[in-house]
Amino acid sequence: MLPGDLPITAERASGILLHPSSLPDTDGGTDASARRRTPRCPGSGDFGASARHFVDWLVAAGQRRWQVLPLGPVGPGNSPYMSPSAFALNPLLVDLEELAARGWLESAEAAQAAHQPSVAGFRMACLRAAARRFLADRGTDPDFEAFIAAEAAWLDDYALFMTIEQRHPERTWHEWPAALAAREPSALAALRGESADEIRFWQFVQWTAHRQWLDIRRHANERGIRIVGDLPIFVALHSADVWANPGLFHLDEDLRPRVVAGVPPDYFSATGQLWGNPLYRWDRHRDLGYDWWLRRVKAALAITDLVRIDHFRGFAAYWEVPADATDAIGGRWVAGPGTDFFDAVAAALGAPVGGLPIIAEDLGLLGPDVVALREAVGLPGMRVLQFAFGDDARNLYLPHNYERDTVVYTGTHDNDTTIGWFATATEEVRRNAQVYLGADGREIHWDLVQAASRSVANLAIYPLQDILGLGSEARMNRPGAGEGCWAWRFRWDQVAPWHAERLAAITQAHGRAGD
């Protein structure tokens, strides 16, 4: 709770949606010597100086929230929503400059790593060089060992999983040698002996990533900025979580999914969407007191201040599809854990009803069961302004229909930027937006920011692209597209002083700047 026993979700505030991977290489300052310690890494932002500079920019812009996407390791297509771990952080976000400053990474090693053909290859080679020096020079470190002990419930399995994956690339875990896939104790014991250095490497990477990110979070919190995280409801099949806990998922005797997640056919897709994630055995989770889930929620809140739960409707009911299906047409609705799950979360966090630091992603066509669940557990829902102008005044996404327990977005990571959306919208949508907003559309991105900020929604979030007035070239994700997503980055020379000044004025005018 914040001062005055006000739940963090009930504060009137606003913030920016920006994943750390979208940060620039440099911090926007003039310390060129610091940036010469290692070759810069084109292609990915990280937990370095630019993240701190962004926090300071948020303060100047009057913002009090920084929303990020899932911070875990990325999966196929660099998606942060298909991670090999629900607990680990993304190694590619580690700040290499900090490792160099500690003397763990030398310029010659980084220069050699620069010959790697990919950004990921470069960063991982640098991390391996740093780990070798750290482990060789120091042998052990009290903070490192304390982290390993504190996070053992997930870190041990993750380090083993990644170690085996290096031996068997391009194969999912149920295709590994049977003894390893089944986690036979003798096979795991042999692996620990044969690959002790590799296991330590993955532990070192997670210690480093957590240490750096918590420094960023501390920097933000000290300046009045709270971090909004993102928690996908489902996990990837090829993950340490499913490998280590097969009994918590619907798997067959060959450790393959019996059923998978998806969404039914709708206006946008005649065949629905087949996501392919393994589905939970909620009966098993309930019998175990939701232990795995409670550890997951606590881990998420250990690195953020509140979290958005993606696909919240899956806790009311989820679309179950046979694993051998080629589309989602033949699926069925299956009841989720409902209020029982959130009661367990509240008890574990010591939070009252209505005080959970959780945002429910409840977008799309929802039944009364989803609305009833969200209201029963007291979570704020989401509204996206880009969805507001397609029909009449009863549209739930129009600001006059909001309630206070709402988080309003101009757009999300799955939407086009507001400039891109407006450029491709139908004439009817454009006209409706102009009439409703009382604007000519020449600054539609600021028009939506104003509308979100002045609404009664407790929290307003704007993608940075909308503050900078960027077009479709700056879109973060295109759902269903296999390539070209999750790669957008901004440059500090795109950010002018007036951006922060204008946003701060809007924020102050609508009572979102705090004391």
- Catalytic residue numbers, as ranges: 310, 361, 414
C-alpha R_g of the chain: 23
Distance, in Å, from the CA atom of 247 to the CA atom of 229, rounded to the nearest integer, reads 28
Q: Is 89 helix (H, G, I), strand (E, B) or coil?
A: coil
Residue that has been written with the tokens 């829902």 in this structure: 381
Type of residue at 237: L
Q: Is 266 helix (H, G, I), strand (E, B) or coil?
A: coil
DSSP single-letter state for residue 309: E
Residues 316, 317, 319, CA angle at the centre, nearest 5°?
155
Structure tokens at 50: 């630019």
Structure tokens at 94: 């580690």
Q: 251-272: b or e for each residue (b if 16 or more CB lie within 10 Å)? A: beeebebebbbbbbeeeeeeeb
Specify the DSSP element, H or E, that contains 468.
helix 464-468
Total residues found in the chain within this entry: 515
Distance, in Å, from the CA atom of 80 to the CA atom of 70, rounded to the nearest integer, reads 6
Q: How crowded is the C-beta side of 410, counted as CA atoms within 13 Å?
A: 30
Contact 71, 89 (CB under 8 A): yes
Using N-to-C axis directions, what is the helix angle for 152-167 and 196-222, rounded to 10°? 130
Structure tokens at 87: 């607990």
Structure tokens at 207: 């210690």
Q: Where are the alpha helices (DSSP H) in 245-386?
A: 282-287, 291-303, 339-349, 368-377
What lies within 8 Å, CB to CB, of 102 at 6+ separation is none
Distance, in Å, from the CA atom of 15 to the CA atom of 226, rounded to the nearest integer, reads 9
Specify the DSSP element, H or E, that contains 509.
helix 497-509
Structure tokens at 109: 């090693």
Distance, in Å, from the CA atom of 69 to the CA atom of 18, rounded to the nearest integer, reads 8
